[in-house]
Structure 1
């Protein structure tokens, strides 16, 4: 959706376990960014980025990196930006928590450490994990402390946001400024492997064959059993190439073949929710609160000295 920092903050806990602690003095490695008096090195950034890169490749495959996340930006560029932003936010939030006297008890740290060890089942597997990550248990303890500081700080500072009940006027203003982000469409598609197959499918549709029946016959997507129906979705919930075409279509229109990393799609637009009354109100409320949350984060980011 439209507010990136909210997503970034949700990744901080996992990021803390793949990064190397940012230090006040780090002369042995090239500086990537300096946040107030804290240095984040190129080495630290690369480690965090490479760990996340490996995680995404394992889940989505190696071809993910050239996919467009948004117009003009690949997934690789998006991840690079997100990792750096997360590292910067981690430094800022830890510093702010310490300034306000927020403390983490040894009991809280021990409890979290035990929970983390329990994931591995036994000490041997836990030790292997530390070796593979090239970190010590002391480092992990410090990381847990930082995680708990951030969690406490965010819980305290953002508690009031959960109680906000935005008015219709506030939600309408948000919708008007971000209409494209809130628009949902419903579409069906027929997915085939080759361009030649896609052209044949398009010809059969042009000759009057039923879209839903043809989808059941030839589509290689699991949606085939539902006549190709994909239900409602937002722009960024589908491959960029797919959404870039689908969101410009008229109701009932059938597209020409659209190429993506999954194959070739023939798309049919079946419904569109693009008015204030038709969009998901819960999503509007969520994004309103997300904006309030981002404004809260921006306050701390803007008063920090960030040198790239």
Structure 2
């Protein structure tokens, strides 16, 4: 897992801070004998914003406290499983954090970074502990995910058959088109573009009627990325297309070249290549991979959610900070 992702996966999003802090205890919670203090909550907020004079509301504090409680519970469980803190990786995380914040907030001035750290009472030791816990939690979750059984072909087929309506489709049409727009005339004056693009679309249409190759003209003129593939944009349902384009595409007979039609993208000359009646998407290789990924994701999420819920239930947590 990348450093940036790990950091922001653990720094749960907190609402924009406002309001004044109320009087509160110095110890906010105890997790299996380990204290989480007011100082920890403030430092967590400093880690997220790295700005002075940020005042936390009671709701903010409660939200941050819950995040720190979960971090303690999960990291303690990882240690109990025999995993160890990785101080070397934690140092790398700290270096990455320092360099990133220095570049983004202080134009590369590392002296200003350290001055802000001191102003925020955000110590390197606290950050290293935070990163060590982040890393060991990631390691524990990675171990847990290795235990998840991969979906097999039978699982995929069962899911497809039990959820077939999910893969229903209306009439499908395979279409190719040539798009003409301002991109064909990059040096033209704005008031000239409308006539130039319309005339070019009509010219292309006539050349197609005269027997020129659609794919070659698409490669030469089309401003759509599909031009490189001869204009083929694949299979579409009507509702997924731009209205003006869709009306023409779903009224054409296969093999007939349309007259130019204008949309918000420019002028199109199009042809319907094939038509499929309403039905169900076939369980082809692409759909198999899609379902496999979905099942795998659900199994992994269920495994992690079950583990983390169990760890929270088993933990001895005493909260002293109570939000109003």
TM-score (norm 2): 0.45
TM-score (norm 1): 0.47
